[in-house]
Amino acid sequence: MKSLKMDVKKKMHTTEGEKYLEFTEEISQGDFICLVGHSGCGKSTLLRMLAGLTKPDVGKISYGDEIWYEDVSGKNLEPQKRHIAYMFQDFALFPNMSVEENIMFAQSKPDKDTVEELINIFGLNNLEKVKPGKLSGGQKQRVALARALASRPSILLLDEPLSAIDWHMRPALQDEIMKAHKYLGGISIMVTHDQMEANKMGDRIITL
């Protein structure tokens, strides 16, 4: 069983001056991890380092036997080769694409069977040809989740995916995220400011 290993350090420039993010952790396949901590402590930076969008100053990141980043050897694997899907706070859907097209965009080779499966799983039937501008916040989130899973990644990163969602919708959408994690069968790491949300969803809670 593969695990994700991180041992990294990164200097951050914050409103309170320079700070250092130091993180050492091993995360097993199947784990749902919730990252909590005050604003500016490095939660989103940590996700970006995992995804290959931000480079650590020193350290090592590996998944199974594959090294993604290592300062000693100079290796820094490209984001598209890291088996990762990243779901941002604003969902980042393409406004000119339909629900179906947004989901399919994540696939290196079009796989309509998987797209149809995800549309069914997330209750997006009859919305396939609809564009994001006509969707509710909850529907947009389900499309973003379906798109994140369309390439069948090993690791799902979620950066405060419910921060823009009304409080009365959050429990149902928390369940949708947990459904996505089970479908994936890999590792999910979610940033949240909500301790109750972390307690409900996380197999483990890591505080930065």
Helix (H, G, I), strand (E, B) or coil at 61: strand
Judging by DSSP bridges, how do beta strands 58-63 and 66-70 pair with one another? antiparallel
- Provide the β-strand partners of residue 76: 69
Residue pair 38/44 in contact by the 8 Å Cβ criterion: no
pTM for this entry: 0.86
- Tokens describing residue 141: 């989130």
Residues near 113 by beta carbon (within 8 Å), at least 6 away in sequence: none
* Amino acid at position 119, single letter: I
Token pair 């959408």 is at which residue? 173
pLDDT one digit per residue (tens) for the chain, 208 residues: 889 999 999 998 777 778 889 999 999 999 999 999 888 788 899 999 999 999 999 999 999 999 999 999 999 999 989 989 888 777 788 899 999 999 998 888 888 888 998 898 888 988 989 999 899 888 888 898 888 888 889 999 998 877 766 777 788 888 888 888 888 889 999 999 888 889 999 999 999 8
